[in-house]
């Protein structure tokens, strides 16, 4: 068994497809298929359920996936031990929720100091990003906190005020039962605050429309389709222009804390350490 076989196995497990794994790894499909069959032969057990649409991990495959992540993580850690800590390089994969207003300053400062690092940014909702950090698919992530998990370390970045955003200048809480709520997908911290508030007030919304991007949500609010909840600092320009209006959210639902998280037991590379140092320096 070779380390590369485990990388191939992980790619097939992630995509559920030999062809997609081959495309990601830049291999021919026959080579991927052969390495998977060889791995199953060496382990003396099938690792996948095979069907017309692709491949799904069976229980033995799921066991191997956990072990392979740990093995490859240790290999990466060993490699990082010998890297040049003065001039970090390589890829740093960071997750972000859509509205981290401190991010441009952090990124520009980091890029300026460490031009050899390739930053890969992935947007998502808090729950998804936390899981990707736990699965070691991301080096770290900016999410809504606090996060209570034994494997997660966190650093507070910024506290912000949440506002309910509408097209109209006035707002009545009853409007939530009259107009759609335009929200990020389940797992979003802002949405959780709003849902907690509505539950406490005994309010059932007329409709929840889910969106994936900040731009789409705000464009829809500006068009009068519905209302949303968002950090006030994210829409300052729109409020000044009179495009939308922000309305106060009552305590204890009115504040949100953005934190940076990483997995506690993973190796902290110099690229990640320098990134976290940059966050601290700008707080």
Please tell me the distance from the alpha carbon of residue 33 to that of residue 47, in angstroms, as a whole number.
Answer: 12
Per residue in 112-166, pLDDT (tens digit) is: 989 989 999 999 999 999 999 999 899 999 999 899 999 999 999 999 999 999 9
Supply 134's token pair.
Answer: 């736990």
pLDDT at 144: 92
Write 102-109 long-range contacts (CB < 8 A, 24+): 102/157, 102/158, 102/258, 102/282, 103/142, 105/282, 106/275, 106/278, 106/279, 106/282, 109/278, 109/281, 109/282
- What percent of the chain is modeled with pLDDT above 90? 66
Mean pLDDT along residues 253-257: 92
pLDDT at 252: 92
Per residue in 212-246, pLDDT (tens digit) is: 889 999 999 999 999 999 999 999 999 999 999 99
Superfamily (CATH) of domain 90-158+257-282: Periplasmic binding protein-like II (3.40.190.10)
Contact 110, 275 (CB under 8 A): yes
Question: Per-residue pLDDT for 79 more than 80?
Answer: no
pLDDT at 4: 87
Per residue in 157-185, pLDDT (tens digit) is: 999 999 999 999 999 888 999 999 999 98
Is domain 3-80 annotated with CATH 1.10.10.10? yes
Find, among 64, 93, 92, the residue nearest to 5 by Cα.
64
**Which phi and psi (to 5°) does residue 155 adopt?**
-135, 125
Q: Where in the chain is the domain with CATH 3.40.190.10?
A: 90-158+257-282, 160-255
Q: Where in the chain is the domain with CATH 1.10.10.10?
A: 3-80
CATH of 160-255, one of 3.40.50.12160, 3.40.190.10, 3.30.530.20, 1.10.490.20: 3.40.190.10
Q: Is the pTM of this model over 0.75?
A: no
Contact 246, 164 (CB under 8 A): yes
pLDDT at 70: 87
Angstrom distances, CA of residue 177 to CA of 91, 139, 189, 229, 244: 46, 41, 21, 15, 20
């Amino acid at each position: 068994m070779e380390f590369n076989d485990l990388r191939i196995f992980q790619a097939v497990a992630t995509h559920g497809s030999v062809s997609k794994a081959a495309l990601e790894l830049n291999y021919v499909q026959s080579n991927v298929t052969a390495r998977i069959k060889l791995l199953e032969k060496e382990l003396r057990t099938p690792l996948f359920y095979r069907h017309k649409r692709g491949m799904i991990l069976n229980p033995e495959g799921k066991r191997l996936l956990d072990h392979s992540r740990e093995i490859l993580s240790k290999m990466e850690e060993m490699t990082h031990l010998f890297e040049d800590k003065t001039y970090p390089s390589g890829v740093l994969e960071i997750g972000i929720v859509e509205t981290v207003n401190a991010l441009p300053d952090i990124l520009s400062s980091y890029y300026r100091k460490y031009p050899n690092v390739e930053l890969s940014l992935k947007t998502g909702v808090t729950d998804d990003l936390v899981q990707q950090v736990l699965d070691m698919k991301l080096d770290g992530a900016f999410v809504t906190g606090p996060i209570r998990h034994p494997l997660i370390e966190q650093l507070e970045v910024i506290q912000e005020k949440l506002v309910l955003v509408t097209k109209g200048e006035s707002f009545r809480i009853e409007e939530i039962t009259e107009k759609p709520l335009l929200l990020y997908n389940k797992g979003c911290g802002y949405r959780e605050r709003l849902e907690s508030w509505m539950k406490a007030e005994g309010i059932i919304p007329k409709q929840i429309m889910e969106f994936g991007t900040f731009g789409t949500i705000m464009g829809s609010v500006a068009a009068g389709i519905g209302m949303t909840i968002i950090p006030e600092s994210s829409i300052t320009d729109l409020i000044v222009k009179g495009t939308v209006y922000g309305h106060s959210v009552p305590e204890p639902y009115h504040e949100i804390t953005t934190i940076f998280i990483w997995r506690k037991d993973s190796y902290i590379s110099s690229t990640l350490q320098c990134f976290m140092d940059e966050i601290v320096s700008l707080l």
